[in-house]
Amino acid sequence: MGLIDEIKHMIYEKRDSYQALSEKVWDFAELHFGEVKSAELLSQALEDEGFTVQREIAGLKTGFVGSYGEGKPVIAFLGEFDALAGLSQKRNKTVHDPIVPNGNGHGCGHNLLGVGSLAAAFAAKEYLTKHQLKGTVRYYGCPAEESGNGKAYMAREGCFKDVDAAFSWHPDSKNAVQHLSSNAVIEARFTFKGVSAHAAALPELGRSALDALELMNVGVNYLREHMADKARVHYAVTNTGGVSPNVVQAIAEERFLVRSPKPNEVKELFKRVVNVAKGAALMTDTEMSYKIEGGCCNLIPNTALHQVMADLMEEIGYPEPSEKDLAFIKDIYASLGDNEKNFAKKFLTTEQRKTIDEKPIADWVIPCPEHDTFMEGSTDVSDVSWNVPTAQCFTSTWAFATVPHTWQVVAQGTQDFALNAALYAGEAMACTALKALEDPELLAEAKREFKERLDGETYECLIPPDVTPSSL
């Protein structure tokens, strides 16, 4: 048996236990930094498999690392397990039907993400033992991907310092390596303090914090015209200062996300946003303060590892959904709007477009593109990728054109084909990691490229040293 067949066999032998773990995490549906039951469940599974588990790493209650083996190289698999608020949905239903109205749900498929990576770690461990290879396999339980940047805190504490290569994946509606970069982001809260007064009788004594907040937003909207194309700035008002129009608002608060392709650029742009806030405070005679509450770097892709991973995905082959799976997939597809479908179809070939309505699952593998692409969003995997060569893939865990963070993702999260796709990702990660472990040339090439892409820069966490999840 070759590497692929061995890994496939090792993973499929434990399919039932992966299904049980994934469904439990789906049921728990815990939010960022509150994934207590999910983290304990996965930690326990690691211990049962013979891994040594360190809980509460980097000061994170739900962050953990499971480790097996010894010495170099050290290969890491990254797992996530947080859900999203407001996306509760019954399993096996293809119409919107929450279990609890406004309850939590796994709208990004992180129940599958955590377990797919766990399967990769277990298979890599089994392969190391069977072939008596030297090296360490780690599973990083990374909390709060959706909101909180768990991996950035872990990277800030040096948790990835001795790792040689890291691997992860994300559920999607395509099979491809994530050969892309992303925006870096700074998340901050801005607070304006003014003076309250009767808005009709004594307005001259009032200093409106809400005016300041509105002027800051107007200023930022003007700033947008004069920032780089790929940069993004968005905000949410979290405190308007009250609901009474006849009271001059003495306090107002909002959260900003400022994004740019590089850490230095995002710091520069953030300074300009702060200047706008200062201007708004000056105009309104109010006081402004701000606190950086989170952030992460831009993603550094790795061609050497991605090329190998994409070839392995092709060789392993996407697991064909059953007839029962296909019926469910078709019903989910039918629930999607024309906008979603037409948008997703833009990325298909003419041939693929002909059959996708009939069989709405992307069962092919997209080859690794020659040049990496760019996404305007951000991910905390980036902070890992600034410390160690990192490879990631997507697999078709969702019906074609499914949009992340929707009830349709939650509904698909416990389906057989979704778990099979998660385990397919596990196989691709385990095989790529083991190739890197067994082939010093590949690992050396990945490291050379990693250095070249950093271009002399070193990792600096964008979250200030005094900020922790519990300090927010």
41 makes contact with Zn ion (CB under 5 A)? no
Question: Would you say 153 or 398 has its CB closer to Zn ion?
Answer: 398
Q: Of 246, 375, 362, which is closest to residue 298 (Cα–Cα)?
A: 375
Which secondary structure element, helix H or strand E, spans residue 296, and what is its range? strand 287-296
Question: Would you say 142 or 316 has its CB closer to Zn ion?
Answer: 142
CB of 145 to Zn ion, least distance (A): 6
Cα distance between residue 412 and residue 419, in whole Å = 10
Question: Would you say 135 or 143 has its CB closer to Zn ion?
Answer: 143
Distance of CA 464 to the CA centre of its chain: 21
Cα distance between residue 398 and residue 395, in whole Å = 8
78 makes contact with Zn ion (CB under 5 A)? no
Return the range that interacts with Zn ion (CB under 5 A); candidates 106-114, 274-282, 356-364, 369-377: 106-114
Residue with tokens 């001795």: 162
212 makes contact with Zn ion (CB under 5 A)? no
Angle between helices 303-316 and 3-13 (to 10 degrees): 70
Return the range that interacts with Zn ion (CB under 5 A); candidates 105-113, 239-247, 263-271, 417-425: 105-113
DSSP letter assigned to residue 206: -
DSSP-derived pairing of the beta strands 390-396 and 373-375? unpaired
273 makes contact with Zn ion (CB under 5 A)? no
Query: Can you read off the two tokens belonging to residue 138?
Result: 């780690």
Query: Can you read off the two tokens belonging to residue 412?
Result: 């698909």
Question: Would you say 108 or 118 has its CB closer to Zn ion?
Answer: 108
Question: Would you say 145 or 293 has its CB closer to Zn ion?
Answer: 145
CB of 80 to Zn ion, least distance (A): 7
Question: Would you say 194 or 413 has its CB closer to Zn ion?
Answer: 413
Shortest-Cβ-distance residue relative to Zn ion: 108
CB of 139 to Zn ion, least distance (A): 18
381 makes contact with Zn ion (CB under 5 A)? no
Strands (E), 48-175: 52-55, 64-70, 74-79, 135-141, 165-172
Count of Cβ atoms closer than 10 Å to residue 103 Cβ:
14
Return the range that interacts with Zn ion (CB under 5 A); candidates 100-108, 210-218, 231-239, 335-343: 100-108
Half-sphere exposure at residue 340, Cβ-oriented, CA atoms within 13 angstroms: 17
CB of 329 to Zn ion, least distance (A): 20
Q: Considering only residues 7, 60, 108, 430, which one is a binding residue for Zn ion as defined by CB under 5 A?
A: 108
Question: Would you say 43 or 392 has its CB closer to Zn ion?
Answer: 392
The residue ranges that bind Zn ion (CB under 5 A) are 108
